[in-house]
Structure 1
């Protein structure tokens, strides 16, 4: 597994994921963090974007998934992002965190989140 990584933090999207009817109607903000593990040595030598993972393209792919698809669970949303990124970009592994700051929990809390790590099937 490559030790190099590209990280995107705090990607904020308004979307309609959730189990409760109100979540599906009113929507809420979701925050995505992602780490892509890949060998970045070629890009480090060449200084060419073709030799790395274009994080603007990763962002665009995540935005489409979060905003256009709808899931009951943020676990499924994280899995869907991992599947797409591993399938479309030259990375060996991915860590995805989905933060749900307005989760419907009766109490005081900062956020609820799930974190997954997946590797490309070899």
Structure 2
């Protein structure tokens, strides 16, 4: 695999919304807040493109269901740890996946800002986990 991900096949799921209790502040664990998750999931789609067979790809619905479950199965202080957890669960579950880019956005982070959001982005290859 080349070092560039720009020219690779990928599934993109953007703007997934979840409510969770992740964060350092006591209010975050009591009240919770909204989070947004963006995913790019890379694997070779040649077989899926040639055969048009569902078995040759990774189901968007299965990805979403896994992320929804993984998002709430454990509470994290850091969104960095949450992002890493989501990536690890994807690799554990879907053998075809070669790399994952996840962005976890926290639109209501406890910061004195009028607009914007705090976010992290992690890019990992399967062999890096």
Q: TM-score when scaled to structure 1?
A: 0.95
| Counterparts of residues 28-107 of structure 1 (less than 5 Å) | 28-89=33-94, 90-107=96-113
Please report the TM-score for the alignment, with normalisation by the length of structure 2.
0.90
Task: Kindly state the Cα deviation for residue 46 of structure 1 after the two structures are TM-superposed.
Answer: 0.9
Aligned residues: 122
Q: For structure 1, list consecutive stretches of 5 or more residues without a partner in the other structure.
A: none
Q: CA RMSD in A?
A: 1.3
Gaps of 5+ in 2: none
1:80-103 C-alpha deviation (Å, 9 max, x unpaired):
001111221111100000000000
How far is 1:67 from its partner?
A: 2.2
After TM superposition, which residue ranges in structure 1, 4 or more long, deviate above 4 angstroms?
none
